[in-house]
Amino acid sequence: MRLKLLRRRLSVTAPRMIVRSHLPWPLRWAALALTLGFSAALAMWAFEFGREIAGLDHGAKQELSRLRGEVEELRQDRDRAQAIANTADSLLKAERATQERLAQQLRSLESDNLAMKADLGFFERLLPADGQGGLAVRGMQADVPTAGQLRYQLLVMQPGRGAAEFNGRYELTVSGQLDGKGWSQTLPAPERSLKFRQYQRVEGQVEIPPQAVVQSLQVKVVDAAGGVRANQTLRL
C-alpha cells in the first residue's frame, strides 16, 4: 500500500503544487496606481516634448501673448471711453444748471423790465406837456411809523423832455400840535439837494419831538439862486 502511494507521488500523474507569495490587495492596487500614474506622466511628457519640437507650443505662446495685448488695449480704450462719458455727463449737468440759472435770471430781468416800464408809464403820465406849467411836486406821501420819526417820499418833476438840468434843494416844514399848542418845525436840509432833468424820486426819514402830533407836511423846492420853484402841502 505504501509502495503504491510512493509511485503515484513520483509518477507523472502526481498532483501539481504551485507556490504563491501572499500580497495584500491594497498594496496591489497602490502598485497598479503608481504604475498607471507613471505611465500617464511619461505619455504627457512625451506629448509636450513632441509639441515643442514641432513648434506648436511656441506659436500658441505668441498667439496668447498677442491676445493678452489686445485685451489690454481694449480695456484701456474702455477706460478712456468711460472717462470721456463721465466728463461729458458732468459737463451736460453743469450746462443744464447754467441754463436753468440763466432762465431764472432772464425771468427776473423780464419782471424788473415790466416793473420799470410800468413806472416809466406812470411817470410819463405825470409829466406835463411841453411848455405847460413849471417845476412840480407829485406823489407826495408821509407817515409816522413810530413816535419821534417822520417818513416821507415824493417826486419832483419839470415839464419838457429837453428841459435844462435843474440844480437846487428842497425844504421840509412839519406842522401840528405839541403839548396842546400849535407847532411847526422847519427841518434842516444839508443833504437834501436836487439835480435832475425830468424827474427825481426823493425819500427819507427825519426826527421830530416824540410828543408831537403831525398834521401836515410842506415841501418847498428852491433853485440855486434861492428862488422857490415849487410848493406842496400834504395833510395827514
Residue 223, burial from CB neighbour count under 10 angstroms (0-12, 13-18, 19+): middle
Alpha-carbon torsion (123, 128, 134, 139), positive or negative: negative
Q: Tell me the pLDDT band of 161, cut-offs 50, 70 and 90.
A: low
In which residue are the cell numbers 507569495 written?
21
Tell me the pLDDT tens digit for each residue of 5-63.
Answer: 556 555 555 555 555 555 566 666 777 777 777 777 777 777 666 666 555 555 666 77
pLDDT for 1 equals: 56
Q: What topology is assigned to 136-235 in CATH?
A: Immunoglobulin-like (2.60.40)
Q: What percent of the chain has pLDDT over 90?
A: 0
3-state class of 172 per DSSP? Answer: strand
Q: Pick the closest to residue 172 from 184, 182, 157, 187 (CA basis).
A: 187
d(CA 120, CA 122): 5
Phi, psi of 146 (to 5 degrees): -140, 160
For 105-133, the pLDDT digits (tens) are: 888 888 888 877 776 666 655 555 444 45
Domain range list for the chain: 42-126, 136-235
Task: Using CB atoms within 10 Å of the CB of residue 174, give its burial: 0 to 12 exposed, 13 to 18 middle, 19+ buried.
Answer: buried
Mean pLDDT of the 134-159 span: 85
Half-sphere exposure of 41 (CA within 13 A, CB side): 6
Most confident of 18-22, 51-55, 159-163, 178-182: 178-182
146 in helix, strand or coil?
Answer: coil
165 phi-psi bin (left φ>0, alpha ψ -120 to 50, beta other): beta
- Share above pLDDT 70 across residues of the chain, in percent, rounded to a whole number: 70
pLDDT value for 9: 58
pLDDT value of residue 130: 46
Residue where the block lists cell 411848455? 131
Q: What separation in angstroms does the CA of 24 have from each of 28, 29, 30?
A: 7, 9, 10
| CB contact set of 42 (below 8 Å; sequence gap of 6+) | none
Least confident range of 118-132, 171-185, 207-221: 118-132
- The average confidence (pLDDT) of the chain is 77
